[in-house]
Amino acid sequence: MNLKYRPMGDYQTNCYILSINENEIIIDPGMGATPWIEKNVKNPVAILNTHGHFDHVWSNAELKRIYNIPIYIHKKDAFLLEIDQFNLGMPKSHADVLIDNEDIIQIKDFKFRFLHFPGHTPGCCVIEFDEAWFSGDFIFKGSIGRVDLPYSNPQDMKNSLIKFKNIPYDKPVYPGHGGPTTIKEEQRYVDYWLKAI
């Protein structure tokens, strides 16, 4: 699997392009992502959203219009695609596939699953491939997602962090903001965040 990514927009939200055998998956196409994506894809097959906040989904509608590919998101965040929550003029989009479990999904040569870690949003997920996690705004390098926003839930985040702490394996983690890290590295800080929330 080949990986490209670039931070987009005022919030420097990482947009990811994963490639296998000349097919691509796009993860979290944020503000202004379309021109960069168009230069770096040949045959995109899906858009995956880790959660529904504007800075991760802003270009969903435009890319859907250009490429006619399905949008995947957890069912509990699908409503966020269809409202301009912060009155910023976000183009609304509509999810084609609503995730409601952690089963493996296969599209072409891509195999992945959505691991549900609510707290930052009701449907916040990590998207897991064999090679890596794409953690959206759940886990960052040395930090975690905010829980003081509308639809955030501090208790859900605590439960998600406990679930995360018990993950028994290690993988690279590519977050929604900032640089990459690993599962094991961020598990070291879980107890701190549990007390801080």
Count up the domains in the chain and report the number. 1
Average pLDDT over every residue of 36-63: 98
Long-range (24+ apart) CB contacts under 8 A made by 146-155 are: 146/120, 147/119, 147/120, 147/197, 149/120, 149/121, 150/85, 151/80, 151/121, 151/122, 152/119, 152/120, 152/121, 153/118, 153/119, 153/122, 154/119, 154/197, 155/119
- CATH code for position 146: 3.60.15.10
The confidence band for 75, taking pLDDT boundaries of 50, 70 and 90, is very high
Distance CA 113, CA 105 (A): 6
| Domain containing residue 38 | 2-196
Average pLDDT over every residue of 28-52: 98
Q: What string of DSSP letters covers 14-54?
A: EEEEEEETTEEEEE---TT-HHHHHHH-SSEEEEE-SS--H
Per-residue pLDDT at 10: 94
The confidence band for 109, taking pLDDT boundaries of 50, 70 and 90, is very high
The confidence band for 150, taking pLDDT boundaries of 50, 70 and 90, is very high
**What proportion of the chain, given as a percentage, has pLDDT over 70?**
100
Torsions phi, psi for 133 (to 5 deg): -100, 145
Average pLDDT over every residue of 124-144: 98
Per-residue pLDDT at 103: 97
